[in-house]
Amino acid sequence: MAIPYSLISIVDRPVPYAEALEWQYSLQKQRRAAVALDTLLLLEHAPVITLGRGSVPERDLLCSAEERGVSGIEIYESDRGGEITYHAPGQIVGYPILELDEESGERDLHGYLRRLEQVIIDTIAELGLEGYRKPGLTGVWVNENKIAAIGIKVSRWVTMHGFALNVDLDLTPMRTLIVPCGISTLGVTSLKEQGIAVGRHEVEPVLLRKFESVFARYRFD
């Protein structure tokens, strides 16, 4: 039987990273205590560079504090998996707060990552773009460029953090201020750059349907 969960979609403003992180901690704590349903946060961030647990700042951070200050880009050390990335308006960020179910075999973190990738692959396929995985790497790729980054944290089998899909954001900071995901030999791209002229509000309904399909025991009410 499908389990309903609440959806919070922030549409009125870019959300500072620290604020969204507090929402996640609160929701994860409530979910672990069984006083909240599984939740999917969908939002856009104010411009921010985040450093995951695998980050090597001296290698992958290409800008000084002064340069970041001029551009208004924050920097934040995150407890998610993965390395360095950039968030800004024009990118859909999804934070699933889900309790992974033991009986249905969901307590497989590699499997969970692959399902998040599948949500993105299925979403952009419906929009007319072929995405794929790269062996040994996490995320979704198009024409040798990453279009979606993924990094998670799981506590007592309740997830937080998630994915970032590049829709129509300005990729310049991602290309000039950091080495995205610590991979210098591959680039980044967006739906817009690949010729898919859509905005966030056109992509979200597709993304929600694909999330519901891949994570089959959940449904939107």
Q: Which residues pair with 76 in a beta bridge?
A: 50
The C-alpha angle 165, 209, 119, rounded to 5 degrees, equals: 40
Cα(96)–Cα(152) distance, integer angstroms:
9
Q: Which of 149, 150, 181, 207 is catalytic?
A: 181
Do residues 43 and 93 lie in contact, with contact meaning Cβ atoms separated by under 8 Å? Answer: yes
**What is the phi/psi pair of residue 15, to 5°?**
-100, 125
Stretch (H or E) spanning 201 = helix 200-214
Q: How many CA atoms lie within 13 A of 20 on its CB side?
A: 28
Q: In the structure encoding, which two tokens stand for residue 44, read together?
A: 């856009």
Backbone angles phi, psi at 91, to 5 degrees: -125, 130
Q: Which two tokens stand for residue 90?
A: 């024009």
| Backbone Cα Rg of the chain | 17
What one-letter code names the amino acid at 128?
G
User: Is 181 among the catalytic positions?
Assistant: yes
Pick from 76, 67, 86, 63: nearest CA to 24: 76
* Token couple for 49: 């560079």
Look-up of token digits 């969970």: 112
User: Which residues are catalytically annotated?
Assistant: 181
